[in-house]
Amino acid sequence: MSKRRERDLADQVFSTRDFIRTLSHREFVTSLSLALFLLSLCLIVDYYDNEDWVEANETTIKWTLFFLAMPSNHIFYKQEHRRSNNFIGRNIHDYIFLIFFAFVINSKNYLYGLGFTMHFKGGLGGAIAWLFIIVLFIMTFETVIAFIKRGLNFLGWRVL
Partner 1 sequence: MARALKVKIAIGCLAIFILVLIPLLDTKFFAQVTIKRWGQLSWHDFKGIVPPFTSYGAGISSKVYLEYDSSRRKYFAYAGQNNIRSWVKDTAQQNDYGLNHEQYHFNITELHARMLNDYIERNPKGTFELFALRHASLNIDLARMQDQYDSETDHCLVYDQQRRWEYRVDSLLLREAGWHTDYFSGAKAYFPDVPDSINGFSNSSVYRSFSLVKYGMQFSMFSYHLGDFKINDLNASVNSFENQNGRTVISVNVDSTIYDFEAFAVSSDSIGYNHYTKWVYSSPYLYKLYSWYPNMKGDTAGYIENALSFINSFQIVNTDKYWVDKFEASDSPIIASKLVKMERKEENEKSQYCMYSGTSKPLGFYRGPFYREDGGMLLAYDYLIHADSLRYQDVMSLNQDWYSYKPTSEAQIYFVPAIRIPKEILDIKVGYILLQDTTKECYEFYHDRVDTPPND
Of the CA atoms within 13 Å of residue 70, those in its CB half-sphere come to: 22
> In what helix (H) or strand (E) does residue 47 lie, and over which residues does it extend?
helix 25-47
Taking residues 70 to 89 in sequence order and writing x for each that binds partner 1 by CB under 8 A, - otherwise, the string is ------x--xx---------
Q: Are 37 and 97 in contact (CB under 8 A)?
A: no
* Residue 15 interacts with partner 1 (CB under 8 A): yes or no: no
What is the full DSSP assignment across 86-135?
-HHHHHHHHHHHHHHHHHHHHHHHHHTTS------TTHHHHHHHHHHHHH
Choose, by CB under 8 A, the member of 34, 70, 96, 160 that binds partner 1: 34
Nearest approach, Cβ of residue 137 and partner 1 (Å):
24
Choose, by CB under 8 A, the member of 18, 23, 99, 108 that binds partner 1: 108
Choose, by CB under 8 A, the member of 2, 50, 60, 117 that binds partner 1: 50
Query: Which is it for the CA torsion 132, 137, 138, 139, positive or negative?
Result: positive
DSSP state of 82: S
Nearest approach, Cβ of residue 104 and partner 1 (Å):
9
Nearest approach, Cβ of residue 129 and partner 1 (Å):
24
Nearest approach, Cβ of residue 36 and partner 1 (Å):
4
Nearest approach, Cβ of residue 154 and partner 1 (Å):
25
* Residue 43 interacts with partner 1 (CB under 8 A): yes or no: yes
Both ends of the chain: CA-CA distance in Å?
A: 29
Interacting residues toward partner 1 by CB under 8 A: 26, 29-30, 32-34, 36-37, 39-41, 43-44, 47-48, 50-52, 55, 76, 79-80, 108, 112
